[in-house]
Structure 1
Amino acid sequence: MNVLIVEDEPLMASHLQLVVEGLGYAVVGAASTAEAALALVRSQPPDLVLMDINIDGAYDGVETAISIRELHQCPIIFITARYDEQSFLRASRLGPANFLLKPFEDNQVRRAIQLASSSPAPVAAAPPEEDAHFYVKVGHKLRKIAIAEIHSVVADGHYCAIHTQANRYLIRMSFQEVQERLPAERFLKTHRSYLVNEQYVESVDLRDSEIILTNGQRVPLAKREREAFLRRVDKFK
């Protein structure tokens, strides 16, 4: 079995490599950034990935794992130094083989790898069904909006604005709470206050750093999110 290690702490990466090789498996490479990890996946597709959630760079381990899954299906074991509810929920949607919380014992790593190697690769959670929805208040009524209808989400103080093809609704929910409820493989972060549904992206204005959606809405594309966004959208590869 070939294993890819994605870890930005050199000592931890070296230690993981020793554990993996001690089990008789080969390490195809150790990457400290998403870019390096994706290059290794393209050149030497691994059978298993050990992925640190909190890697340095423009995108974290969860975003990197999503991109890896777009290139190659294999089990992923997530590693983190702290329990972060938001990251855990995002990672869980990908159907990981296991989670390892630092500091961990060598036998925990061995057990996680052995379980992953003896089980079928987990399948990422399916996109929400059409009845997955939000309820929003409109006048004196509550209206159900399917997640599939949502074009974008915009943070607005203690509220979030939900944009569909023809309407805008305010819901009393934080941006983080909304992001946790939406499928990471479909909704892309373009700015600290914006999420867009990839299926409704009509075009991208690279000069003005804006994304134009099918409902005519123009959404900013922040410099720090630009590379990750363009990499996620196949047409820009």
Structure 2
Amino acid sequence: MKKILIVEDEAELANNIGEILSNLDYKVAAIVDNASSALEFLEKNEVNLILLDILIHGDLDGIDLAYQIREKYNLPIVFSTAYSGTEYLERISSDIHEGYLLKPFTMDSLKTAVFFGLKRHEEKSTKETKAKGSLKIMDKGYLVPVPYSEIVYLQADGLYTKVFTKAKSYLVRDILKSFEEKLPSEQFLRVHKSFLVNISFVASFNAKKINLGETNIPIRRGLYKELIDKLNV
């Protein structure tokens, strides 16, 4: 019987979900409402899937908790959220979850999300594992391991650096050059004195700027040819 950890800060909803999952022949491993309790439980117990609310109690939200879980455990995650805006949902990286549920959801949608969450994770596990590695960032007193694959670009801001991921951004007290030395050179390129870019997110570029989807970043003079070589264009 598959065991599911429920991370949900609405007690009544969490209990309802647990009852539905039990009726669907899943075992509810535990119900917690914050990141610390979830991580503590995972240290001592085995689960097969995590049903994770994005807005939970405590300093870490569900997205940051997902990063923490991905760093230590090979477990499928299904997000639950009350936010239906496409812009918000697109910020939830597909690399840190196997599905999401839009609140309020039905028994059928919960059943489907959990079933395919487990199935997608099994399929991912059979494929070649991506290059591992993460950038350790202090955020609200917690060390958040942000996978390299999640980082879109970094921007210098005086003695600080802004780290932009697909899910959210962080402000870190460290200069950009320090990050340039930490991140793998085959994946990240200093395209400007103020910008360090993950080249896998480059959608298009010319001699003056790089398009990273909704963000345009200037590139330093003479970098155009190097960028072409880097991207194997």
Task: Give the TM bin, normalised by the shorter chain.
Answer: 0.5 to 0.7
Matched, 1:23 2:24: yes
Q: CA deviation at 1:197?
A: 9.8
Q: How does 1:196-211 map to 2 (within 5 A)?
A: none
Report the residue type matching 2:92 in the other structure: A
Which TM-score applies when normalising by structure 2?
0.56
Q: CA deviation at 1:87?
A: 4.8
CA distance in 1, matches of 2:64, 2:178: 14
Seen in structure 2, the aligned counterparts of structure 1 residues 11 and 89 have a Cα distance that, compared at 3 Å, is same
CA distance in 2, matches of 1:189, 1:149: 12
Matched, 1:43 2:24: no
How many residues are treated as equivalent by the alignment? Answer: 161
Equivalent residue number for residue 54 of structure 1: 55
Q: CA deviation at 1:72?
A: 0.8
Seen in structure 2, the aligned counterparts of structure 1 residues 2 and 91 have a Cα distance that, compared at 3 Å, is same
CA distance in 2, matches of 1:24, 1:68: 25
RMSD: 4.1
Percent of aligned pairs with the same amino acid = 25
Seen in structure 2, the aligned counterparts of structure 1 residues 154 and 86 have a Cα distance that, compared at 3 Å, is farther
Structure 2 segments unaligned to the other structure (5+ residues): 132-149, 183-233
Which TM-score applies when normalising by structure 1?
0.55
Contact 1:6 1:50 in 2 (8 A): yes
CA distance in 1, matches of 2:152, 2:115: 41
Q: CA deviation at 1:61?
A: 0.3
CA distance in 2, matches of 1:90, 1:195: 26
Seen in structure 2, the aligned counterparts of structure 1 residues 42 and 86 have a Cα distance that, compared at 3 Å, is farther
CA distance in 2, matches of 1:115, 1:89: 19
Seen in structure 2, the aligned counterparts of structure 1 residues 78 and 11 have a Cα distance that, compared at 3 Å, is same
Seen in structure 2, the aligned counterparts of structure 1 residues 201 and 66 have a Cα distance that, compared at 3 Å, is farther
Q: CA deviation at 1:111?
A: 1.2
Q: CA deviation at 1:45?
A: 2.6
Q: CA deviation at 1:57?
A: 1.4
Equivalent residue number for residue 155 of structure 2: 153
Contact 1:62 1:90 in 2 (8 A): no
